[in-house]
Amino acid sequence: MKFLSSNFFQNLDPDLIVLQQVPSRHYSSFHCLSTIEAVVRPQTSSSLQLLLQELTRQELMWKIDWVPLGKGSNVLISDRGFGLVVDLSLMNQISIVCEDENELILDVGAGCGNGKLLQFLRKKRCKGFGFSFGIPGTLGGGVRMNAGTPLGSFSQCTIGVSALDMGGQSMFDRELSSKDFSYRDFPAGRDWVVFRLRMRFAKASEREVEREIEDAKVKRANQPLHLPNFGSAFKNPPGDFAARLIEAAGLKERRIGDAQISSMHANFIVNLNAAKTEDALQLIELAKTTVRKKFGVQLHREVHVIGDSEYDS
């Protein structure tokens, strides 16, 4: 990526926060080893729009040179490093659009963490987001991935988004229904930068709200949360589980470099110390090939790879 100095961004908008030479581990829950050249944090949608327009003018391309990231809990960043991350963590406000005894409608900044919203909803006695307990991301990443578990997903509570196209040319609001989402994907939003979500939750008793969260906690018990990882490596194939297939293929605990298929959960790849992204990607390829050969099932990667077009999702 061509070098863009801090001054370049400050001249564009003095309120843009710019960090340079940022370790990739700050934007990857797997603790990737490389370096991100620049991280830019806009504080408003108009500042975000200016930024995207300028990146386009500088002929910097989405995915090749820059990408929006939340907490990086579903990404691997190339060992060669990456150019520019657009980080919306400062756009994290929660505002009430409408509230009555039955429901609560919110506008929430895409940089808001799932945990912050869940705590807010707990206090408001709302259900419908308990599934997110233990999903360590932001709402922007959550809606892009349609993150969830069998207990629920973003598709059931997101009723709209405010977004920009990747070139920053148009800023728009879209109403959404669950039909706009598919399993771990939000197809229409693949080329958007989402900066705000409109979400709807039902009011419930304290007991119901807490039970939803307790149910979600149980699901985490068999996950290797003591080691850096990026959640599920693969989507579950229809009618089966990626973890079951990988385990049945004899790959549990298989190690390449410092990346290992977890002994606790075969759909998790953990970083034992200083794993390279390439190590994790080789394990992913090994699991794919072995499962296809043994069971005739094609696994599809869930984790997104940043900065390596060879592995582009």
Ligand X SMILES: Cc1cc2nc3c(=O)[nH]c(=O)nc-3n(C[C@H](O)[C@H](O)[C@H](O)COP(=O)(O)OP(=O)(O)OC[C@H]3O[C@@H](n4cnc5c(N)ncnc54)[C@H](O)[C@@H]3O)c2cc1C
Q: Among residue numbers 220 through 239, which ones bind ligand X (CB under 6 A)?
A: 225, 229-231
Residue 103: active-site member: no
* 68 makes contact with ligand X (CB under 6 A): yes
User: Does residue 89 sit in helix, strand or coil?
Assistant: coil
| Positive or negative torsion for Cα 238, 243, 244, 249 | positive
Based on CB atoms, which residue is closest to ligand X, 29 or 34?
29
**Token pair belonging to 100:** 């009555």
Torsion angle of C-alpha atoms 28, 29, 34, 39, degrees rounded to 10: 30
Which residue in 241, 278, 254, 288 sits closest to 30, CA to CA?
278
Size of the site for ligand X (CB under 6 A): 34
Q: Tell me if 136 contacts ligand X by CB under 6 A.
A: yes
CA angle 19, 21, 22 (to 5 degrees): 70
Indicate whether 140 belongs to the interface with ligand X (CB under 6 A).
yes
Q: Judged by CB under 6 A, does residue 77 bind ligand X?
A: no
- Main-chain dihedrals φ then ψ at residue 258, nearest 5 degrees: -100, 15
Asked if 78 is part of the footprint of ligand X (rule: CB under 6 A), the reply reads no
Part of the chain binding ligand X (CB under 6 A), chosen from 73-81, 97-105, 196-204, 205-213:
73-81
135 binds ligand X (CB under 6 A): yes
Piece of 6-14, 15-23, 65-73, 254-262 that binds ligand X (CB under 6 A): 65-73
- Neighbour-count burial of 47, counting CB atoms closer than 10 A to its CB (0-12 exposed, 13-18 middle, 19+ buried): buried
Residue numbers at the binding site for ligand X (CB under 6 A): 29, 67-75, 88, 110, 134-138, 140-142, 144-145, 147-149, 184, 192-194, 225, 229-231, 304
Catalytic residues: 184, 232, 302
